Amino acid sequence: MLKIKDLTKFYGNNKVFDSVSLDIKRGTITALLGMNGAGKTTLQNIIMNRTNFTGNILIDNITNVEFIKIQRNNILYLPDTPFLYDFLTGIEFVKFVADIQKIRFTEIQPKVDLLLDLFNLTEYKNGLINDYSRGMKHKIALISILIQSPKILLLDEPVAGLDTISIIALKKLLKSMANNGTTIIFSTHILDLVEGLCDSVAILHNKNLTFYKDITEMNKNEIEKIYLDIAGTQIDFAVSKLY
């Protein structure tokens, strides 16, 4: 469904990726792990053709550039700090996004109402976004994405600022979307989220895709060990010296 081959990316003289290749199946959830600066957000921006690169990215056997041109509504990206219009109310923003995507609000209003309830925003939907907390802003941005049914959904740190109930709700919603054919790729630093949600995990380190595997082939808590072996081998040593 999504094939990345020999992806290389420079920022000036700094190489971010060096011939990265990745093959992601339709209707699966893949987590991107890596230290700050490993390229998780950059990879998502590259898939969205928001920055230049060399290599090949194919979605349904056509280039990502062509896919975005002809099926723009079928690939969505939510950054970790989404842009919101503070002068709109929460519900006005959701209607605004629906209008941009040419979705009739009357057709999705029952879904919107359910999402507002799930994320505990119903009583705040008519409040100005400017007065929302960080978590509330993130929830309304998520709702504006979750009202849609794209083929590919890219999320950058999707649980940042969310309360426990909202995280549980989001996990169930993403699982349901994947079961209905949406391919989901998200970046995170929360390993527990990966084990409880994903079908596969990809670890970016030292300009490369260092690890990519189906989670069903792994033992419980194996992700943490693998991640530490790749990116944090000195943690135990350092802690033992401190305490």
For position 66, which CATH number holds? 3.40.50.300
Which residue is associated with the tokens 């199946």? 25
Flag whether 76 is in a domain.
Answer: no
Q: How far is CA 199 from the centre of its chain?
A: 14
- 160 shares a domain with 146: no
Q: Answer whether residue 79 shows pLDDT above 90.
A: yes
- 131 shares a domain with 62: no
Instruction: Give me the pLDDT at residue 113, please.
Output: 98
- The predicted-structure confidence for 88-147, as pLDDT tens digits, reads as follows 999 999 999 999 999 999 999 999 999 999 999 999 999 999 999 999 999 999 999 999
- 20 shares a domain with 128: no
- 157 shares a domain with 205: yes
Q: Answer whether residue 237 shows pLDDT above 90.
A: no
Q: Answer whether residue 195 shows pLDDT above 90.
A: no
pLDDT, averaged across the chain? 93
pLDDT higher at 196 or 100? 100
Q: Answer whether residue 234 shows pLDDT above 70.
A: no
Final residue of a structural domain among 150, 176, 209: 150
- The predicted-structure confidence for 213-229, as pLDDT tens digits, reads as follows 999 888 877 888 888 88
- Reduce the secondary structure of 81-110 to three states and give it as a string: CCCCCCCCEHHHHHHHHHHHCCCCHHHHHH
Flag whether 203 is in a domain.
Answer: yes
Cβ atoms 50, 109 nearer than 8 A = no
Q: At what angle do helices 164-179 and 105-118 cross, to 10 degrees?
A: 140
Most confident of the following: 32-41, 136-145, 229-238 = 136-145
Final residue of a structural domain among 150, 168, 197: 150
- 50 shares a domain with 29: yes
Global pTM? 0.93
Final residue of a structural domain among 124, 150, 176: 150
Lowest-confidence segment of 105-119, 141-155, 185-199 by average pLDDT: 185-199
Flag whether 78 is in a domain.
Answer: no
Angle at 51 between CA 12 and CA 6, to 5 degrees: 80
| Residue numbers of the domain that contains 117 | 83-150
- 164 shares a domain with 121: no
Instruction: Give me the pLDDT at residue 240, please.
Output: 74
Domains contained in the chain, number: 2
Flag whether 39 is in a domain.
Answer: yes
- 130 shares a domain with 171: no
Flag whether 77 is in a domain.
Answer: no
Cβ atoms 117, 147 nearer than 8 A = no
Question: If you average pLDDT over residues 16-40, what whole number do you get?
Answer: 94
- 165 shares a domain with 138: no
- 116 shares a domain with 167: no
- 133 shares a domain with 20: no
- 21 shares a domain with 97: no
- 193 shares a domain with 158: yes
